Structure 1
Amino acid sequence: MALLQLATREPEHQIEARGNAAREVIGVSFRLPDPRQRLPYLAERKTNPVFQFAEALWYLAGRRDVDMIGYYAPSIRSSCTDGVHLGGSAYGYTLFNSADGGQSPFDLVVELLLNERDSKRGYLSVFSTAELADRSNPDVACLAGLHLLPRDGHLHMVCNMRANDLDCGLLSDVFSFTMIQEFAAVQLGLRLGTYTHTIGSAHVNDHNADRVRRVLDEAASGPAVHFAFPSLPEDTTAVTIERLLVHEEALRTNELRYNAPHIQSHLGLHPYWQQVVMLFELYRQIQHDQVATVDPALLHALDPGLRWLMVRKWPACAAAVGGGAH
């Protein structure tokens, strides 16, 4: 909220990069003392938890296919030049895959930190200057890199961004990167530390100015809504992500449909991940069944914070609770 206010009301520059007029401030950062609280509860912002989890899992699985992530955010397809794979924005592909068939950069850093707990070398680079070779490239990485720093039994992380759209990209980036941080902490057997986010070009696009104004007005009108976000299960591994994405694909392709009792009793998933499958099933109902009202039992099986967000994002969810007032 502070960055939105700064960029819109006290911008340092008015820029127009690649046809996008925007207000900009240069060289900003913030720190989250509890990165697990990674979702803003703002009715005007209409945060989409389905996409947030889908993108985080897409990264953690090391994928770059547009089919999966494009289902949750169709506008992303415009950045795909071959209709199949995304480029610089597929951060997980860079982090969780090896270019030479050996260990991935993520695995190398985890191995380093397991053996050298106070290391300063746990840096995961993403942006490459090679991405600039093609001036028409629509998909250059905004993320420069992630710096993992284990200290005193906690895993801290510093994220370096070359640029951030404060109204859109920032929310998704913080969600996904803190998920990667928490995933790394679990692999290292460490508690979750602080998350520091630094941005070279922090900007708000002019075409989003009206929504930003409404969000700022809402935030200024009273105390913020807050819901606690649960901890990532301590047994989470890459295999966990693979298992979860089997259900994601079945729902995304409309091959299966689930109800709450089936998800809770028959999938063999931790309750944390059951919630994610519930989100994917609700989205399946909205996209494939095109229902006017989603399954109320499924919606009410969600954690309160996720239900609050879904009700404010999707009319079919609001209809299931009588208009979204609850």
Structure 2
Amino acid sequence: MEGVKPVRYAGITEAYVSRLDGLLRDPEYLNSPRGFASQEHIGVSFSIDDPRRRLIPMEIRRSNLVFNVAEVLWYFSGRDDLEYMSYYAPGIRRFVMGADALTGTAYGPRIFNFGSSGLDQWESVAETLRDDADTKRAVIQIYRPEELTVPGNPDVACTIGLQFLARDGRLNLVGYMRANDAYRGMASDIFSFTFLQELMARKLGLELGRYTHMVGSLHLYEPDLGPARRLVAAPRGGNSPDDRMPAMPSGDQRPHVERVMQIEEGLRTDAVRLGVSEIRTLGLPEYWRQIVAVFELYRRCKHRTRADDDGLLDELHPLYRHLMANRFPELSSTPRIKAQVS
């Protein structure tokens, strides 16, 4: 008997709109966990055939590319510091219980320094896949049961784990979620997980397979019902560019990420300011120079030290340029700054 296959979408935009539409039209449950009214589907599963189609270029949504990239690089750097994440998402402070670090939201320490043994799950999974390409054991655990024992904990991990499956020369990934906010969290989570999928695939010399998202509770909170209805009703296409991110360079990306994060710190603290020519001479592959350019453009908005049209926005990949201009319209015209490089 043929097994039941998950619903498959070409990319995240199709999945996002479809799942919101289903929650709006035919919710399975209406409930209020912790007093937050929501509409819910349970036991949801779907796949995305092209994990590089991880961004939603719909103008009505105003996707935050900077946050998406910052979050996944924060994970990949093994960090949990609030200072970094609050620069890109100030509202995240409400999830912190009087500390300078995040717990459940910070997946990085769990991936690279798990438990009392400090296990590097990333390297353990990579080695498991190298030893046995057909393995079903290449799992990174995120959720920790002791999170439930913290009274009033506002920051319990939504992700249970990530399972990497190498099949026919392609690396597939299954993300297991205990819960997922369909309007806000799902898009960011899928971006991060498919980005990690590509990082692992490059490390192992494999092509990208598909991504499968499995969720215990997929829900839509009451305050987001109106925005979700408007988004589902909005036309797609139009002036939107192709929603596929470029491919990462071959090989292990760790050295490139470390260099990007060094530069990011300078930009975040406004100690470094970069123009087009400086970014071109950073010694990074084009893929990662584009990420640095995104961080620099955000620095200009955040620190209000902007530049006349030095062409940086135009240097971006069309998808990135569309997302940045849509999210930060102030980037279109600014007074000139002098570039500084350290």
TM-score by length of structure 2 reads: 0.88
Deviation digits for residues 282-317 of structure 1 (CA, Å, limit 9, x no counterpart): 1111010265x7745111111100111111111213
State the percentage of identical aligned residues.
Answer: 40
Show CA shifts across 1:158-214 (max 9, x none).
Answer: 110011111110111011000111111111111111100011111111111221112
Aligned to 2:87: 71
Cα distance in 1, alignment partners of residues 246 and 149 from structure 2: 42
The whole-number CA distance in structure 2 between the counterparts of 1:57 and 1:229 is: 16
2:289 to 259, 262, 274: 274
8 Å CA contact retained: 1:42, 1:225: no
Give the 3-state SS of the residue equivalent to 2:266 in structure 1.
Answer: helix
Structure 1 Cα separation of the partners of residues 62 and 295 of structure 2: 17
**Cα distance, 1:205–1:13 mapped onto 2, change above 3 Å:** same
**3-state DSSP of counterpart to 1:254:** coil
How far the C-alpha of 1:102 sits from its partner, in A, is 5.6
The amino acid of 2:160's aligned partner reads A
Return closer, same or farther for 1:283/1:216 CA change in 2, 3 Å cut-off.
same
Deviations 1:47-105 (A, max 9, x none): 01011100010011111111111110011111112331100111121012244566401
Tell me the distance in 2 between the aligned counterparts of 1:296 and 1:206.
Answer: 43
Number of the residue aligned with 1:323:
none
Rounded Cα–Cα distance in structure 1 between residues aligned with 2:241 and 2:184: 20
Which of 48, 56, 76 is the aligned partner of 1:32?
48
Report the TM-score, using the length of structure 1 for normalisation. Answer: 0.93
Q: Which structure 1 segments of 5+ residues have no match?
A: 321-326
Aligned to 1:297: 311
- Post-superposition Cα deviations, 1:245-281, rounded to whole Å, max 9, x if no partner, equal 000010001111001111012x111100111111111
Structure 2 equivalent of residue 177 of structure 1 = 193
Give the counterpart of 1:9 among 15, 25, 45.
25
1:18 match: secondary structure: helix
The alpha carbon displacement at 1:122 in A equals: 0.7
Alignment pair present for 1:61 and 2:56: no
Give the drift of 1:145: 0.4
CA distance in 1, matches of 2:240, 2:21: 16
- What do residues 9-38 of structure 1 show as CA deviations (whole Å, max 9, x unaligned)? 111111212232111111111111110111
CA contact (8 A) 1:312 1:318 kept: no
Distance 1:98 1:221 in 2: 43
Separation in 2, partners of 1:85, 1:295:
37
- Cα 1:208–1:294, aligned 2, differ >3 Å: closer, same or farther? farther
Runs of 4+ in 1 over 6 A off after TM superposition: 220-224
Root-mean-square deviation (Å): 1.8
Cα distance in 1, alignment partners of residues 232 and 323 from structure 2: 18
Structure 2's unaligned 5+ residue stretches are 1-16, 335-342
Query: What is the CA–CA distance in structure 1 between the aligned matches of 2:69 and 2:120, rounded to whole Å?
Result: 22
Is 2:184 the partner of 1:168?
Answer: yes
The equivalent of 1:288 in structure 2 is 303
- The 1-side partners of 2:173 and 2:136 are apart by 11
Alpha-carbon offset, residue 226 of structure 1:
2.5
Residue identity in the other structure for 1:7: L
| Inter-partner Cα distance in structure 1 for 2:126 and 2:114 | 14
Alpha-carbon distance change, 297 to 228 in structure 1, aligned in 2, over 3 angstroms: same
Q: Flag the 1:177–1:310 CA change in 2: closer, same or farther, 3 A.
A: same
Q: Is the 8 A contact 1:145 1:160 kept in 2?
A: yes
Q: Is the 8 A contact 1:41 1:47 kept in 2?
A: yes
2:246 maps to 230
Q: Distance in 2 between matches of 1:271 and 1:49?
A: 17
